[in-house]
């Protein structure tokens, strides 16, 4: 069965379909190059027919990005929960890193698929690329940090956000390249002091 036009709105995916399909999708894309995975392979492994898959997704790209968006949405909720009641700017940034890296430690296939496998060009075609949920949480941390005088005024908001994502990308890439021999959260002892020193006001410890 051929996929339908991309501009046709699809119905919500039932939870029972997600439960069967999403773990297989992450496993396949974490273990294989993006172009080696196809709908038929996913269908065979998950037991979800191609007809059913095309009912909810336009293509394998559409399927993969739906999975990633849902998982990253879960990470946003976790990060917000762990940040509740934390007022110190340094501690809030630490929590933002720790919660994300711990989440990826518990979901390594998500980390590999998100940072290594998925083609950036493919994701850029979606609105979710521009509104990647963690951006809003970082903006809130930065805003309060500015008000408290904790952040270096010579380092602008975009640079701070860029440094956050740079460290995330780098740590996952090195971890993957070295055969996942350590926990991602263990890397924080090495990069977080440098991150904080770079963005904090001179008066901050």
CATH architecture of 15-199: Orthogonal Bundle (1.10)
Q: Is the pLDDT of residue 200 over 50?
A: yes
Using one digit for the tens of pLDDT, what is the confidence trace for 27-38?
A: 999 999 888 999
Rounded CA-CA distance 109/76 in Å is 18
Give percent above pLDDT 90 in the chain.
64
Helix (H) or strand (E) holding 123: helix 120-124
- Tell me the domain boundaries of the chain: 15-199
Residue 132 per-residue DSSP state: -
Using one digit for the tens of pLDDT, what is the confidence trace for 71-102?
A: 888 888 888 887 777 789 999 999 999 999 99
Rounded CA-CA distance 94/98 in Å is 6
Rounded CA-CA distance 64/113 in Å is 9
Q: Tell me the three state secondary structure of residue 155.
A: coil
Residues linked to residue 200 through DSSP beta bridges, in sequence order: 151
- The pTM of the full predicted model, rounded to 2 decimals, is 0.85
Q: With beta carbons less than 8 A apart as the criterion, state whether 160 and 116 touch.
A: no
């Amino acid at each position: 069965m051929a996929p339908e036009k991309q501009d046709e709105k699809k119905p919500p995916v039932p939870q029972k379909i997600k439960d069967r399909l999403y773990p297989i999708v992450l496993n396949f894309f974490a273990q294989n190059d993006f172009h080696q995975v196809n709908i038929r392979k996913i269908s065979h492994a998950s037991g979800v027919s191609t007809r059913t898959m095309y009912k909810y997704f336009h293509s394998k790209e559409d399927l993969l990005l739906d999975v990633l968006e849902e998982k990253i949405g879960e990470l946003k909720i976790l990060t917000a929960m762990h940040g509740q009641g934390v007022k110190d700017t340094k501690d809030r940034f630490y929590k933002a890193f720790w919660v994300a890296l711990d989440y990826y430690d518990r979901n390594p296939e998500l980390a590999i698929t998100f940072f290594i496998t998925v083609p950036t060009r493919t994701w850029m075609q979606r609105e979710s690329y521009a509104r990647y949920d963690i951006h809003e949480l970082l903006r809130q941390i930065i805003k309060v940090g500015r008000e408290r005088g904790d952040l270096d005024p010579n380092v602008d908001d975009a640079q701070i956000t860029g440094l956050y994502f740079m460290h995330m990308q780098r740590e996952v890439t090195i971890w993957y390249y070295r055969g996942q021999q350590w926990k991602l959260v263990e890397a924080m002892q090495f990069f977080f002091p440098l991150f904080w020193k770079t963005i904090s006001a001179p008066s901050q410890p």
